[in-house]
Amino acid sequence: MKRLSLFLAAAAVLTPGAAMAALAIGAKAPDFTTRGAIAGKTFTVTLSHQLKRGPVVLYFFPKAFTPGCSAEAREFAENIEKFKAAGATVIGMSADPVDDLVAFSTKECAGKFAVASAGPGIVSGYDVALKMRPGMTDRTSYVIAPSGRIAFVHSEMSYAGHVKSTLAAVEAMKTK
């Protein structure tokens, strides 16, 4: 466990933009319940229920069907089996309404993982409000340990690197 903590602390320092995220490694992740969609079907998502299965990659993205957000969703979908092999659940989050996310979950996420609507309480709790565009979230990815603590953070507006860094973090958790 000590080696995992050292790895995660080093990764946070070396990860581009990690210092921008409001929730620090080791902080308690705010629990939430919201509506989401997977493969075009809506359902209720509760973080604490997802954490009972293992780590959760909670990635916030600005807006469904924009070029970077679509590319990021496709990259997560292409790597979803690796996340599952590491015991992790992936959940995409944006301030979009659920109706928009229903289509996004099928087209861009290929029905492979859930996307959910981040209301004002979730956006505030995770401090992911996009300052320059009210009503949107910034691009921040959190890896949340089953304990409910933040284990890894990648906060950078470019989608490049979010999948690779979060996958490395969950794989490191599995080996520790």
Active site residue 69: yes
Contact 167, 81 (CB under 8 A): no
How far apart, in Å, are the Cα atoms of 131 and each of 16, 18, 54, 89, 101? Answer: 19, 17, 32, 28, 22
C-alpha 48, offset from chain centre: 14
Q: Which of 69, 73, 128, 136 is catalytic?
A: 69
The residues annotated with a catalytic role in the active site are 69
